[in-house]
Structure 1
Amino acid sequence: MAVSYGKGRQLACGLVLASTLLAGQAFALAPEHEMRRLMLATEEAVAAESWGEAGEYLNRLQQLEGNKPADYFYYRGRVMYQAKHLNEAQSALEAYVTSAGTDGSHYQEALKLITDVEKARSEQAVSPQSANGDAGKIAVIEPAGDRQIESLRELYLADSDREALSLHLNSLLEVAGWREDQTIVQVDMPADIEYRVSTDDSAVNVQEIRRDSDGRVVRKNQSLSVYGINPQVEWACEAAATTCWVYDPRDGSRLLQLAMNRRQTQEIAQTLGRLIRNLQDPAGS
C-alpha cells in the first residue's frame, strides 16, 4: 500500500505540473488571438466603467505588433475622455469614425463623444495660451507641469514619469502616421510613414517605419542624445504638402513627418519635450 500511495502522490504531482505548464502555454497566444482577447477584455472593462482596467488592456494592445481593429480607437477615445486627455480622445475618436464609417457599431456614440470633447475643450479655453491664439507658423511647446504627468502615470498605470511619457508619445504617434493618399484613410491599415520611440538613460531612440506601394517595409533608427539640447520642441504644418513636422531639437531639421493635424502634432511635440526634459534631469524618474 505504501508503494501504491507513493506512486499516487507522484502521479498527482505530475498532473499538477502538467496543468501548470498547460496554463502557462495558454497565455502564449499568437498576436492575432492575443489582440482579440485584449479587445474583449477592454470592451468588458469599458462596459463596467472600470477605466483603469480598460486603460491597462489598451496599453498592452498598443504594444502588440499588427494592425488594430477600428473599435480599438473607439475604446481608447472613451478612456482618454474619462481621463481628461481631450486631444488624444478626439484623435482616437476621429480615427474610429474615419475607419469604421457610418456602418460602425459605435458610429453615433463616437460622434456624440467628439462633440462632448469639443465642449470640454471650450470650457478649458480660458487659459492664457488660448487667449494668445495660434499664429499658424512655428510653435514652441513648453513642457507641462507635474500635475499633468501625474495624470499620465495614473492613465497608463506606469511606474515612472519616463515610462508614462514614452507610452503616451507612442500612443499619440500611433494615430498620427503620414499617408501619401489622404483621400482614403483606414486606421486599421498601416500608414506609409510611422514612428515608435523608446529611451535609455541619456537618449530618445526614434524608429522610422516606411512602407512602399509594394508593401516593403524599411526601418531606420536614430538616437537623440538629450544632453545640451533645448527641450522646447518646435513644430509646423504645411497645408500645401498636407504634412505636419516635428523638428529635431538638436539642429532644427525635420525629425517626424506626420499627418496634417495641428492639434495632434502639437501634443506630440509637447510630449517629446517633456520626455527630453525628464531624461535631462538626473533626479527624473
Structure 2
Amino acid sequence: MAVAFGYSRLPALRIKGRQLARVVVVASALLAGQAAALAPEHEARRLMLAIEESVAAENWGEASEYLNRLQLLDAEKPDDYNYYRGRVMLQSSHLNEAQAALEAYVTKAGTEGSHYQSALKLITGIERERKEKALVTQVGNDTKIAVIEPASDQRTASLRKLYLADSDNEALVLHLNSLLGVAGWRQDQAVVRLDRPADVEYRLSSGDNVISIQEIRRGSPGSVTRKTLQIPVFGVNPQVEWGCEPAVATCWIYDPRDGSRLIQLSLNRSQVEEIAQTLGKLIRNLQAPSDS
C-alpha cells in the first residue's frame, strides 16, 4: 500500500515540475520585456501619439488612461500634453481643470503652438458655459434646491462662542479671516514663516446683502496692490466650488456667480475646503437673514 502510494505521486511531481518550468519561462519573458522597455523620453512620445489617436477617435476613456500614464512618467512632458489634457477634462465637464490645463498649454507653447488658436477658443467656450450655468442658477432662484449644508448649526454656534461674536454672520466672517490669514499664497513654498505676510492674501467683510473681499498682492520691490471685490449674495449658489493645481502649488476658491477664479491660496486642501464651506454658509445666512 505504501509502495503503491509512493509510485502514484511521480506523475503529479512531473506535472508540477513542468508547470514550474513554464512559470519560470513566463517570468523570464516578462523581465526581458521590462529590461527592453523604452527610455522615458521615447515612452513619453509613444504615449503622446496614443493620446492624439484616442482623442481623434473620440475614445475619451482610453485617452484619459494614456494621459494618466504619461503624467506619472518621469520625463519632460511635450507641450501638447496640457492641450489634450484640457480636451479630456472638458469632455468630462471638469471645467476648472480643463481651463487650467489649456491655459498652461497657451503659456508654455505660445503663439507658435500648433493648437494655440484652438486652445484659446476652448477657453472662451468654458467661460461661456460658466456664464450659462450662472444664469440658470439665478433664473431658478425662486425654486428651493436641496443642498448639502456646508456647516451645521452646531458648528456655527461653536464658532460664535469661540470668537465671542454677537451673531452667526460675525462669527463666520471672523473664522474666514482667521483661515485666510494662514492660507495665503506664497511664491516660495519651501519655507513658510507665519511672521511674514504672504505674497497674496485676503480680508473679508459682509454687509446686509453683500460680501466684500479685499485682495492684497505684494510685489518684489516691496510694492503692495489692493483690490476690493463685492459679491451680492442674492441669486448666488451657496455651494462654493474649490480646486487645487499641484503643478503650480496653488488652490483656488471659485466665484459662486460664474465659476471664475476668485481667491488664490496655498496648496492645502483641508484648509481650502473649510474656507469654501464657511464662505458657503455665510452666503446662505445672508440670503436668509432671519435665520442668523
**TM-score, normalisation: structure 2:** 0.49
**8 Å contact kept, 1:210–1:219:** yes
For residues 186-230 of structure 1, the C-alpha deviation after alignment (integer angstroms, 9 at most, x for no partner) is 110010000000000001100000000111110000100000010
* Structure 1 residue aligned with 2:218: 211
Whole-Å separation in 1 of the counterparts to 2:162 and 2:185: 26
**8 Å contact kept, 1:230–1:249:** yes
1:168 to 175, 179, 187: 175
The one-letter code matched in structure 2 to 1:284 is D
The one-letter code matched in structure 2 to 1:155 is L
Structure 1 residues without counterparts, runs of 5 or longer: 1-136
1:261 to 262, 268, 279: 268
* Structure 2 residue aligned with 1:67: none
* Structure 2 residue aligned with 1:103: none
* Structure 2 residue aligned with 1:274: 281
- Tell me how far 1:182 sits from its aligned partner: 1.0
1:224 to 231, 242, 248: 231
- Tell me how far 1:143 sits from its aligned partner: 1.8
Q: Secondary structure at the match of 1:237?
A: strand
Structure 2 residues without counterparts, runs of 5 or longer: 1-95, 98-146
Over the matched positions of the two proteins, sequence identity in percent amounts to 65
- 2:228 maps to 1:196: no
Q: Which runs of 4+ in 1 moved over 4 A?
A: none
* Structure 1 residue aligned with 2:241: 234
Whole-Å separation in 1 of the counterparts to 2:185 and 2:232: 25
- Tell me how far 1:141 sits from its aligned partner: 7.1
The one-letter code matched in structure 2 to 1:269 is A
- Mapping for residues 87-126 of structure 1, pairs under 5 Å: none
Which structure shows the higher helix fraction? Answer: 2
Whole-Å separation in 2 of the counterparts to 1:179 and 1:218: 15
For residues 222-250 of structure 1, the C-alpha deviation after alignment (integer angstroms, 9 at most, x for no partner) is 10000001000000010001000000000
Which fold has the larger relative contact order, with Cα–Cα distance below 8 Å and residues 6 or more apart in sequence? 1
Whole-Å separation in 1 of the counterparts to 2:180 and 2:188: 18
Whole-Å separation in 2 of the counterparts to 1:141 and 1:224: 22
Superposition CA RMSD, Å: 1.8
Alpha-carbon spacing, 1:207–1:188, altered in 2? closer, same or farther (3 Å):
same
Whole-Å separation in 2 of the counterparts to 1:175 and 1:267: 12
Whole-Å separation in 2 of the counterparts to 1:165 and 1:158: 9
Whole-Å separation in 1 of the counterparts to 2:148 and 2:245: 18
Q: Secondary structure at the match of 2:192?
A: coil
**8 Å contact kept, 1:208–1:221:** yes
* Structure 1 residue aligned with 2:154: 147
- 2:187 maps to 1:183: no
* Structure 2 residue aligned with 1:38: none
For residues 38-91 of structure 1, the C-alpha deviation after alignment (integer angstroms, 9 at most, x for no partner) is xxxxxxxxxxxxxxxxxxxxxxxxxxxxxxxxxxxxxxxxxxxxxxxxxxxxxx
**TM-score, normalisation: structure 1:** 0.50
Whole-Å separation in 2 of the counterparts to 1:183 and 1:147: 37
Whole-Å separation in 2 of the counterparts to 1:141 and 1:281: 16
The one-letter code matched in structure 1 to 2:262 is L
The one-letter code matched in structure 1 to 2:231 is L
**8 Å contact kept, 1:141–1:234:** no
Query: Which protein is bigger by CA-based radius of gyration?
Result: 2
* Structure 2 residue aligned with 1:71: none
Aligned length: 149
**8 Å contact kept, 1:178–1:243:** yes
